[in-house]
């Protein structure tokens, strides 16, 4: 398999060397790295270029200039870049540390017989602090099987863990030029929406670094849970979801007939004042999050039009 690692960077001089080392130490060594830098003003690019020269990786690494429109746009632009050809694509954050067998293990979840259907992989993570000291694991997200109903209201796996095949790449690239909540959530939406294969691996594949500059952090602990509660209740989550739904409606033709029906019914209930219709829709169509307490909060938010 041709492996393309899609890394985005922006002022990552403090941590990017560790990530590059973890890629270099992969047990599956046949890969190419593509970096889209979004305008770093520190030594990020110098570090990458020095690493390339030191290891004679000139034919394995290519650096692009990012669109400078935020991390989601940067990932989408890199993903949709037709100069990059591969069988499997791995999204990669600049400040994580990959487990040495991440690529090899992930490949094992993909088969040649699935080349004609979209396949998306994601996993649990080991949570580490800014000094790479472990303090926990990300919550398990496998209470229910992956589904379009679940994808409408959450993404179970972080984009930093995701890998996908060429068919999934085509679907993900449809969001280029449109506003979405996040690239990973969008990936789950469109792959599940077309009844592709979505794999959630409960075994961690990387060390997910938590620090002050993180664009998104872990959902571990009371403070994170309370933050998610307030986001669901105060309407912020509704605004976030609007971005996904608006872009999804522009590409509704990619959905299967059954998932198109789920989307239509969800949108009707979302704008309805009938609380019984709302409750029936969520229950009957299995629109729920992976954690029971968040599904309960989601239901309340849905009742009062905050979702």
Could you give the CA distance from residue 134 to residue 209 in angstroms, rounded to a whole number?
9
Tokens of 218: 């872990």
At 237 the pLDDT is 82
Question: Model confidence at 298, in pLDDT bands (50, 70, 90)?
Answer: confident
H helix or E strand, kind and range, residue 103? helix 102-107
Q: Which residues contact 206 (CB under 8 A, 6 or more apart)?
A: 22, 96, 97, 98, 99, 102, 123, 125, 126, 160, 161
H helix or E strand, kind and range, residue 6? strand 3-9
- Enumerate the β-bridge partners of residue 32: 4
Check whether 102 has a pLDDT greater than 90. yes
Instruction: Report pLDDT digits (tens) over 36-85.
Output: 999 999 999 999 999 999 999 999 999 999 999 999 999 999 999 999 99
Could you give the CA distance from residue 102 to residue 60 in angstroms, rounded to a whole number?
18
Instruction: Report pLDDT digits (tens) over 200-249.
Output: 999 999 999 998 655 444 455 556 666 666 766 677 888 889 999 999 99
pTM, 2 dp: 0.93
Quote the mean pLDDT of the chain. Answer: 93
H helix or E strand, kind and range, residue 88? strand 88-92
User: Which residue bears the tokens 């959450």?
Assistant: 154
Full set of structural domains in the chain with CATH: 3-209 (3.90.550.10), 222-303 (no CATH)
Q: Is 170 helix (H, G, I), strand (E, B) or coil?
A: helix
């Amino acid at each position: 398999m041709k492996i393309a690692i899609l890394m985005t960077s922006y002022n990552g001089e403090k941590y990017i060397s560790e990530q590059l080392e973890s890629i270099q130490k992969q047990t599956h060594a046949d890969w190419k790295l593509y970096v889209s830098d979004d305008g770093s003003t520190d030594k990020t690019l110098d570090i990458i270029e020095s690493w390339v020269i030191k290891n004679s990786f000139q034919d394995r690494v290519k650096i692009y200039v990012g669109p400078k429109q935020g991390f989601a746009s940067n990932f989408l632009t890199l993903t949709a870049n037709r100069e990059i050809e591969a069988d499997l694509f791995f999204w990669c954050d600049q400040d994580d540390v990959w487990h040495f067998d991440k690529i090899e293990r992930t490949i094992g979840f993909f088969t040649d017989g699935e080349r004609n259907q979209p396949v998306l992989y994601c996993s649990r993570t080991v949570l580490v602090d800014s000094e790479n000291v472990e303090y926990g694991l990300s919550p398990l997200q496998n209470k229910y099987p992956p589904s379009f109903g679940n994808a409408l209201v959450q993404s179970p796996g972080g984009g930093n863990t995701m890998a996908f095949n060429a068919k999934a790449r085509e679907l993900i690239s449809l969001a280029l030029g449109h506003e979405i909540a996040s690239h990973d959530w969008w990936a789950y939406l469109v792959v599940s929406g077309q009844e592709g294969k979505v794999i959630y691996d409960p075994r961690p594949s990387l060390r997910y670094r938590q620090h002050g500059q993180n664009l998104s952090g872990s959902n571990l602990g009371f403070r994170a849970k309370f933050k998610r509660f307030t986001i669901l209740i105060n309407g912020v989550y509704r605004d976030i979801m609007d971005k996904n739904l608006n872009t999804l409606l522009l590409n509704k033709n990619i959905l299967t007939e059954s998932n198109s029906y789920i989307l239509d019914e969800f949108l009707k209930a979302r704008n309805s004042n009938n609380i019984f219709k709302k409750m029936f829709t969520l229950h009957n169509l299995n629109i729920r999050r992976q954690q029971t307490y968040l599904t309960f909060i989601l239901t309340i938010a849905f009742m009062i039009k905050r979702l």
